[in-house]
Amino acid sequence: MAFLEITIPPLPHYITSGLNAIPKGGQHPSRSNIQVFDLLITISGCFYIGEDDARFEVGSGQAVILRPDRYHFATQVCSEITHTYWLHFHVGGAWELINPAAVAPVSLEDPAPEEAVVEAFAVEPFTMRIPQFTTLQHPEKMYEIFDQLLQLQPRAHVSSVRFAQQQLFQEILYHLAASGETDHASASRACAEKAASYLRQHFRESVSAKQLGDELNFHPVYIARCMQKEYGCSPITYLLKLRVGHAKLLLLQTELPIAHIAQEVGFEQAAYFAASFTKLEGMSPRSYRQQFSQGI
């Protein structure tokens, strides 16, 4: 199963939606590079659409997302009248089409980070994984949300209505993501979340990959693969980010000596703390503190 993996923020943005009826013997129109994502959900009947080498038969209770940068074409006519909801949305940030079945080897270490812009409280992006084609878990709930969107459409020029549409659209994305979760994906996510929870509770302690594996009863390589998939980094880097994040708060909110802060957040050696902090933040703990204390 192929997934659209969207990096957030920014949030995907709702544009417009509607209800369409394809007559018996009719077909979905062929289009190329329409510049927006096209979500199609079949209420009754079935339509047939192609994108590159992929072919989709979208029957009742099923959904497909067509990419903005591809040619889409009907592969055959409908054998009965087919009713579909359609929705156009835009992704302002990064996204890619991925196939989780193609699993690349995962290292316990992370590649060298790119130079970062230092901020007191940086926004950390996350990813949402949405299936390109799926059978909806709760189709009636999805139909209900689309009906609410259609009812709001005549007043879409009102700012409060536009905001309500965006909220409904986020709910649609949530239901799509839930429909695409396989048992394997759920197990992977559960493992990553258990590892993250353990690290958050024990970040002040010395935690090795073996210890984490023993606590979760999973092999360290499997845990690393799950965390890389869900959080984009290894357990080691996740732990370092936790410690440095807490250290940043202490540097900003207290006058504690840097060596003391290092111990408070789980570093046994101040030099290692300084090196780790500099690697992640692009400057030393002392420089970080000074940057936000100027003018005091």
- Residue 105 has what pLDDT? 46
- Residue 66 has what pLDDT? 96
Give start-end residues of each CATH 2.60.120.280 domain in the chain: 3-98+128-179
Per-residue pLDDT in tens (0 to 9) along the chain, 296 residues: 789 989 999 999 999 999 999 999 999 999 999 999 999 999 999 999 999 899 999 999 999 999 999 999 999 999 999 999 999 999 989 999 987 665 444 444 455 555 545 566 667 788 888 999 999 988 999 999 999 999 999 999 999 999 999 999 999 999 999 887 765 567 888 899 999 999 999 999 999 999 999 999 999 999 999 999 888 899 999 999 999 999 999 999 899 999 999 999 999 999 999 999 999 999 999 999 988 776 54
- Residue 106 has what pLDDT? 46
**Got the DSSP string for 188-210?**
HHHHHHHHHHHHHHSTTS---HH
C-beta atoms surrounding 138 within 10 Å: 12
Contacts of 244 (CB under 8 A, 6+ apart): 265, 276, 277, 280, 281
Nearest Cα to 43, choosing from 187, 145, 178? 145
DSSP state, residue 107: -
pTM (2 d.p.): 0.69
Which CATH code, of 1.25.40.10, 1.10.10.60, 3.20.20.70, 1.10.287.130, is assigned to 183-291? 1.10.10.60
- Residue 127 has what pLDDT? 84
Give start-end residues of each CATH 1.10.10.60 domain in the chain: 183-291
Cis check: omega of the bond before 10, within 30 degrees of 0: yes
- Residue 126 has what pLDDT? 83
What phi and psi, each to the nearest 5 degrees, are found at residue 46? -160, 135
Contacts of 116 (CB under 8 A, 6+ apart): 280, 281, 282
Point out which residues pair with 134 in neighbouring strands. Answer: 63
Q: Looking at domain 3-98+128-179, does it have CATH number 3.30.930.10?
A: no
For the purposes of burial, counting CB atoms within 10 Å of the CB of 115, is it exposed (0-12), middle (13-18) or buried (19 or more)? exposed
DSSP state, residue 4: E
- Residue 112 has what pLDDT? 52
> Given the structure tokens 């970080």, which residue do they identify?
288
Half-sphere exposure of residue 89: CA atoms within 13 angstroms, side-chain side: 21
